[in-house]
Amino acid sequence: MHRVCSAPRAEPPCPCHVRVGPPLPLRVRWRRAEARHGPLRAADQEQLLTALREQPDPDTVLRMLNAVLAWNDFAPGPEVYEEIIRKLGAAGALDLMKVLVAEMRREGHQVKLGVVHSFLDCYARQQPFDDAVDLVLNQLDPLFGIQADTVVYNHLLNVLVEGSEMKLLELVYSEMGARGIKPAVVTFNTLMKALCRAHQVRTAVLMLEEMSSRGVAPDETTFTTLMQGFVEEGSIEAALRVKARMLEMGCSLTKVMVNVLINGYCKLGRLEIADGFEPDQMTYNTFVNGLCQNDHVGHALKVMDVMVQEGHHPDVFTYNIVVNCLCKNGQLEEAKEILNQMVDQGCLLDVTTFNTLIAALCTWNRLEEALDLSC
């Protein structure tokens, strides 16, 4: 078994100390033990895993590994390697990650998809998206000893979507087909998300036909993505047509979909609740929040009245949304009245409530009132 360590230091020499972040450059050195280690007992392995998971600092994680590597009866299991690789990925230590993967394979452990995902997530944070694509298309077999499947491609596609890399996204999807990798519903959902973000919602809708031709059934996420895309364009009627098509295909309306539609109504200042769904506290809060974000605070107050009539009492989150909107509009008297309503309803004010109103009073040069409220 090798040890992971940095280049030796002059004072004091510390072969077990590795730094993964700036300012010191990253260097890796392995030291082979005189005898091959034996497997660690399951209980000890789990204890080490727990300690590694609770440790946020990658430097400390490597020091922990090097410390236990000194035990003659220790050999880390694949879960230990995977956890350390994940921590190194969060720190951007790609070179060390590759070294650990090589040692993991040398010890006879099979590399699982979680390790590949750690690499892709690391590339996503550092944004060398070309390298992420090269990893999946060309490096999986030599580096990890595995072949890319639909799950790996889906993870890569999502990384590219989040990085707004549309050209690379098209390249990878095309390569999937060329290599005989069958797309799943997650694949299409990811592509639709990319198209909707690029304001190509109608092109995304056309992918429903491609899904059908490939025998892939759309799911709730598919329709939610399309509804959200049309709502972002301000086309609530198109979103409702997607909803109707979804119901025809046997999918049920979910709370997430209702909230998407509510946000669409709010953008237009309309008070409709989606048909066929009983609103709950979360739905009403979403409605109030959407109306306030679109400067329809009067409508938001009406929704709060409806909440009470339907047996859903506004909570501190609901009140804070409205207070914040009123304060931004300079409607301080109305905001103070809302505070009185909170007290009357037995709803405890929190620090957000006070801070919002105090800041607004100061902005409008009503310093005495702000001082009274803060005392």
| Domain-wise residue ranges, the chain | 1-109, 279-375
236 versus 16: the higher-pLDDT residue is 236
List, in order, residues 6 or more apart from 31 with CB less than 8 Å away.
Answer: 2, 3, 5, 15
Q: Residue 72: which pLDDT band, with cuts at 50, 70 and 90?
A: low
C-beta of residue 231 within 8 angstroms of C-beta of residue 267: yes
Residue 38 · residue 70 · CB < 8 Å: no
**Least trusted range by pLDDT, from 3-12, 248-257, 264-273, 365-374:** 3-12
**H/E/C letters for each residue in the chain?**
CCCCECCCCCCCCCCCCCCCCCCCCCCCECCCCCCCCCCCCHHHHHHHHHHHHHCCCHHHHHHHHHHHHCCCCCCCCHHHHHHHHHHHHHHCCHHHHHHHHHHHHHCCCCCCHHHHHHHHHHHHHHCCHHHHHHHHHHHHHHHHCCCCCHHHHHHHHHHHHHCCCHHHHHHHHHHHHHCCCCCCHHHHHHHHHHHHHCCCHHHHHHHHHHHHHCCCCCCHHHHHHHHHHHHHCCCHHHHHHHHHHHHHCCCCCCHHHHHHHHHHHHHCCCCCCCCCCCCCHHHHHHHHHHHHHCCCHHHHHHHHHHHHHCCCCCCHHHHHHHHHHHHHCCCHHHHHHHHHHHHHCCCCCCHHHHHHHHHHHHHCCCHHHHHHHHC
- Position 181 scores a pLDDT of 94
Residue-wise pLDDT for 150-171, tens only, equals 999 999 999 999 999 999 999 9
- Tokens linked to 75: 């050999």
* pLDDT > 60? residue 28: no
What local confidence, expressed as pLDDT, does residue 8 receive? 34
35-44, 120-129, 198-207, 234-243: least confident range:
35-44
- Residue that has been written with the tokens 């720190």 in this structure: 91
Least confident of 29-33, 106-110, 257-261, 348-352: 29-33
Cβ contacts of 80 within 8 Å, gap of 6 or more = 45, 48, 49, 52, 65
Domain at 279-375: CATH code: 1.25.40.10
Say how far apart CA 149 and CA 116 lie, in whole Å: 11
pLDDT for the residue 150: 96
Distance of CA 285 to the CA centre of its chain: 22
pLDDT at 279 over 80: no
- What per-residue confidence (pLDDT) applies to 345? 85
**Position 261 pLDDT exceeds 80:** yes
pLDDT score of 213 more than 90 = yes
Residue with tokens 């944004």: 127
